[in-house]
Amino acid sequence: MDAAKLDVALAVAQDAARQAGALIARRFKEPRAQTTLKDKSVASIDLVTETDTECEGIIIKLLQAAYPDYELLGEESASEAGGYVLNDAPTWIIDPIDGTTNFVHRSPEVMVAIGLSVAKVPVLGVCFNPVNGDMFTAREGGGAFLNGERISVDGVPQQLNQAVIATNIGYGRDPKSVAHTTGTISNLLNANVRGLKMSGSAVHLGTNVACGRLSCYYECGPHPWDICATAVVVREAGGVAKDMTGGPLDLVSRKYIVASSDEIASRVIACVHEPYPM
C-alpha cells in the first residue's frame, strides 16, 4: 500500500479513535461501569463493559463506511464469536479499550488501538488515550508521532542494569501460567534490571517504549488487537517489534516483544524465553 493511501487511512483511523475516545472520556467520569466476565468460569477475571462494545461499534461503523472491502477484527466481536482468523487481506485490527480493568477502576492507563495489517504485517497504527488526550500515530515509512511531534527511542539505556522493562501479568491464573509469569519476573530481577513496570495495558506500555520512557515491553499471551497498532508505532520510532523467539513479529503467535533496539530485546528474551503455557 503506497504512502498516500496510508496517510488517508491514518486520518480515518484517528477520527474513529477520537470518536470512540469521546465516549470513553465521558464514561470515565461517571459512576463505576457495570461489568461482566468474558469467560464465565470461576477463575476468570477478564472484564468487559458496555462501553467496550459500544466503542467497538463506533469504530467499526466508521471504518466500514470508508473501507467497505477491508476485513475487520475487533476484540469484542471476536470474543463474542468465540475466535478469529487473520488472513492476508487488508484488515483493520481494533481494541476499543485496551485496559478495561483500568477503565473500571478509574486508572488513566486506558487506550483505544486501531491497527491495519496487510499480508499479516502491521502497516499503520493509532493509539489514543482519551483520558489524557495522548495520540500516538504511525504508518509504514512515515515515522512515529505523539500529538503531532516526532518521537524516537534514541538514547534509551541498553544495559539491563540501566533499563526499565515492562510487562503485564495477563489473565492466566492456572499454576503453569502463574509459574511462568513469576519466573520471568524473577529472571529479570536476578539480571539486575533497574526497574519493572506494569500498567495493565499492552498498548500503553508499548507506546511508552516508542517515546523513550521504557527500554522494552514483553508479554506472552496478547492477541492481534493488543499489539498490531503499537508495533507500527514502535517500529517507526526506531525500535523493534518481534516474536519472543527472536524472529519476526507474528500477530497470532501470542509471544510478543517490543523494544528500543535489537540489543535490549535480545537481553530480555534471554531472561524470558521459556514457552508460554497456552
Q: Name the residues annotated as catalytic.
A: 75, 95, 97-98, 100, 226
Dist. CA 256–CA 206, nearest whole Å: 11
CA dihedral 72, 75, 76, 80 (to 10 degrees): 80
Task: Give 3-state DSSP helix, strand, coil % of the chain, rounded to 5.
Answer: 40, 25, 40
Give the number of C-alpha atoms closer than 13 A to the C-alpha of residue 252, restricted to the C-beta side: 10
Q: CA–CA separation, 50 vs 56, rounded Å?
A: 10
CA–CA gap between residue 81 and residue 75 (Å, rounded): 10
The CA-atom distances, in angstroms, between 21 and each of 97, 113, 194, 195, 234 are 9, 10, 34, 31, 22
